[in-house]
Amino acid sequence: MRRAAVLTALAAAVAFGSGCAAPRPDAPGTTAPAPPSRPPSTAPGANGTTAAARTPAGSLLVADFGSDTVTFVDPERGAFDSVEVGTAPYGLVVGRDGRAWVATAEGVAVVDTGTRERLARVPYASQGIGKPEHGEYRGGGMGIALSPDGRRVYVGVNRPGGNGALEVVDTRTLKVTGTAEVGRRPFDVDVSRDGREVYATNHDSFDVTVVAAGSLRTRGIEVAPYGTEGGLGSWLKPHYAVVRDSDGKLLFPFEGERLVVLDPRTGTSRVERMTADTHQHGATLTDDGTLLVVGTGPIDPSRDEGPSLTVRSPGGREKVIPLDGPHEDVTASRDGRTAYVTGGFTRDGYWNGITVVDLDSGTTRRLAAGDRPLGIAVL
């Protein structure tokens, strides 16, 4: 079925240099021009002067992979401010204190989302990252997550041509306090509910690295429901995972066909059926356990479906909402009724905006939002 078709499509995919399939270290990345700077929202100060207004709750924050910034977005009207954070920001996470932690090619940027200022940038400790640059295979931070108590940030660091690292940043001292070896290109990082384990999803090595938060000891678990044939040229690799609150298991969507449900304690997994039939990337869970998964589009257009958002209930029922063009990552509103899907995409074909999806009706609308937006969070 899928495997045979994909192996047939791989030669064509690699031939036109599709980024998700095979790395091209010598090829330049797609670097879009930086957007014009936007003045911050203003409001009268207490003494009659004009002061910067604090960012409203419910605003969106996106990482602009193409312009070295994060952009603040009103979910009704669109972008209203941006802050420079470092080269090619990828993932981001926001703590309860309102600070955002952004994985860039240069280090982890710290942003006060209330005042919209960059407070610091913490350099990586790992060797072999290379000089800061753009492009899908650039070195530096990719997936990023916070410990439940907010005291540590975990960032997956890509070291081009080799295995990656998980670096631990102390959120009080703003220093790297530890490093663990993980697999190749850690697309995503997640933390267990109790904070005792960290999970690095390694795109190019078909596995997840389980890292003990205390000792930084590691063990790897293969996540390859289609096998590993094709190696670096394969499309059928893990991209993003979510931790299910009800039992702590990891959920990995593949190709709109298979959902791998992995128990990180035992290393055992089972596969559940999915229905979107499209290449999949970003994923998130709403508070009620609904799984949202971004479909980026077909591997083989003659047999696969186009871009979509899968809305999967805790019981496994799915609604597939079509999207216009490729997308990368997704988050949900606080009430769980709206999804925000970024159009940045790690491969070519991205666009500079967010699709807003009403999860009940399936209706969609678009917002302009930064330059090649990837990671996203609700403030």
Give me the mean pLDDT over the 267-279 stretch: 98
Residues spanned by the domain of 239? 2-20+56-378
In a domain, 47, yes or no: no
Question: How many structural domains are present in the chain?
Answer: 1
In a domain, 225, yes or no: yes
C-alpha span between 142 and 165 (Å, rounded)? 10
Task: Using a pLDDT cut of 70, give the percent of the chain over it.
Answer: 86
pLDDT tens sequence across 188-209: 999 999 999 999 999 999 999 9
Chain-centre distance of CA 250, in angstroms? 15
Q: What's phi and psi for 347, nearest 5 deg?
A: -100, 175
In a domain, 102, yes or no: yes
pLDDT tens sequence across 226-248: 999 999 899 999 999 999 999 99
Mean pLDDT estimate for the chain: 89
User: How many Cα atoms sit within 13 Å of 66 on the Cβ side?
Assistant: 24
In a domain, 171, yes or no: yes
In a domain, 45, yes or no: no
Please give the C-alpha separations between residue 57 and each of 73, 83, 104, in angstroms, as whole numbers. 11, 18, 25
User: Cβ neighbours of residue 317 under 8 Å, at least 6 residues apart?
Assistant: none
In a domain, 238, yes or no: yes
Q: What is the pLDDT confidence band of residue 2, given thresholds at 50, 70 and 90?
A: low
In a domain, 44, yes or no: no
In a domain, 82, yes or no: yes
Give me the mean pLDDT over the 67-86 stretch: 97
pLDDT of residue 24: 39
C-alpha span between 371 and 66 (Å, rounded)? 5
CATH code for the domain of 256: 2.130.10.10
pLDDT of residue 52: 64
pLDDT reading at 34 higher than 80? no
